[in-house]
Amino acid sequence: MTIRSLLLAGFAATGLAFVPAAHAELPAGLSGDPPTLAPMLEEVMPAVVGIQVTGKARQTPDHPMFNDPFFRRFFGIPDDPQPQQPRGVGSGVIVDADKGIVLTNNHVIQNADEVTVRLQDDRELTAEVVGTDPDSDIAVLRVDADDLTEITVADSDNLRVGDFVVAIGNPFGLRQTVTSGIVSALGRHGLGNRYEDFIQTDASINPGNSGGALVNLEGELVGINTAILSRSGGNIGIGFAIPTNIATTVVEQIMEFGEVRRGQLGVVGQNLTNELAEAMDLDVTRGVLIAQVVEGSPADKAGIQERDVITGINGNDIKDFSELANAIGLRSPGEKVRIKLLRDGETRNVTATLTKADETQASAGNGDTGFPALEGAKIGAIPEDHDLAGEVEGVAVLDIARGSPAASSGLRPGDIITSVNRRPVDSLEAFRELVNSDAQQLLLHVRRGDGALFLLVR
């Protein structure tokens, strides 16, 4: 199964199809005879809402032929952009009744002109978008209404694989639908968000469930239903939810600042592989190998060096770069973090004070270049295990986010950029200086495998 199979559960449903799904048996010992979840659901379901959006007008492509009257009449293109009609797109959860705060997914309401929240009692309320965070796929809405019901938020760190959970939402436009299952796995990542630590569940999650509630048997919110893995678009027993501890951190910052202000360490690194560990004579095979430390960054001030291997943050193990990105990117500027690392086979502990993400030129995994067409590309030092390491000077394309502008640029992970606008690049700092200029386009010379090419990026 590849990431191409991941379907966002907020996509509008175009039809219904029978898809066999995996279901877990309810645990013995529930209250009532026979056992039932009804009392808990009666308390919780008023806090789960439906969300509709009115999308932005569909725009005609910016090309001269689309302005030709004959062309427009022949193909039936209207003279004025046609607004999209309101459509049921997802779900949300009321987390603060007094302030009218509703939590949902960013992909549910992105590009919306108007957002409407529909309550269990059929009231329809126009919602204000307080703030969004595409990197974690969280959005915060506010509605003005009395007699709202909020949900109790649990500590998602207490979840265990095998715990029973219930998903509540509006799949396929069917309001107030409940499915049950178990926590199938924890700590899933690599599904498309920059910051992620998904709960995997076999509770049925379908299109329209995005932004809805994943609750434990106490009726406490443990996650925000977000996505499914599927071949057909229907549920096959693999769904994902954002843990409440991530969502709560994002919500708190949005409520305070109107945006998320992320901490930054100032390193470029890569996953430690078995081959790298053997070559460096290390006793560990999990962690993040530091390829570059930005001068003057929190990492530099804390004494972190190239070739160090970060294995822990604040007492929690760090197994790969995604976990390091979460551990740093979900913290605020000014926070202190305790970092466990290996250097020359010896364990060391250092403390770093994080800075704001845009105050350091390179970061733990965000890879932003400052050039819009390269948004989503993670650029860093050439890894030591790259085929061209030591043969050429330049910077490496470490990763490209699926669906990002950079994905359409022609660059591929593993490319080595050796020059920008005919000026050689010998370091990440040099690359960023050239890319952050006022140039309207970039002419990149790229080494790819045994060949080379030029890419013009606008």
Which one is catalytic: 91, 133, 135, 137?
137
Q: Any catalytic annotation for residue 210?
A: yes
Which one is catalytic: 91, 210, 230, 297?
210
Between vectors from CA 148 to CA 146 and to CA 152, what angle results, nearest 5°?
A: 145
Q: Report the distance separating Cα 213 and Cα 179, nearest Å.
A: 11
Determine the 3-state secondary structure of 378 from DSSP: strand
Q: Report the distance separating Cα 419 and Cα 382, nearest Å.
A: 14
Determine the 3-state secondary structure of 117 from DSSP: strand
Contact 285, 273 (CB under 8 A): yes
Q: Report the distance separating Cα 394 and Cα 436, nearest Å.
A: 16
Which one is catalytic: 91, 107, 409, 415?
107
Q: Report the distance separating Cα 446 and Cα 457, nearest Å.
A: 12
Tokens of 219: 């009726």
Q: Report the distance separating Cα 108 and Cα 103, nearest Å.
A: 11
CB neighbours of residue 81 within 10 Å: 11
Residue/partner pairs of 414-418 with CB below 8 Å, 24 or more apart: 414/386, 414/448, 415/446, 415/447, 415/448, 416/382, 416/386, 416/388, 416/392, 416/446, 416/447, 416/448, 417/379, 417/444, 417/445, 417/446, 418/392, 418/393, 418/394, 418/445, 418/446, 418/447
Residues 6 or more apart whose CB falls under 8 angstroms from that of 31 comprise: 39
Helices (H) and strands (E) in the chain, counts: 8, 28
Radius of gyration of the CA atoms of the chain, in A? 24
Q: Any catalytic annotation for residue 107?
A: yes
CB neighbours of residue 5 within 10 Å: 13
Q: Report the distance separating Cα 128 and Cα 286, nearest Å.
A: 44
- As annotated, the active-site residues are 107, 137, 210
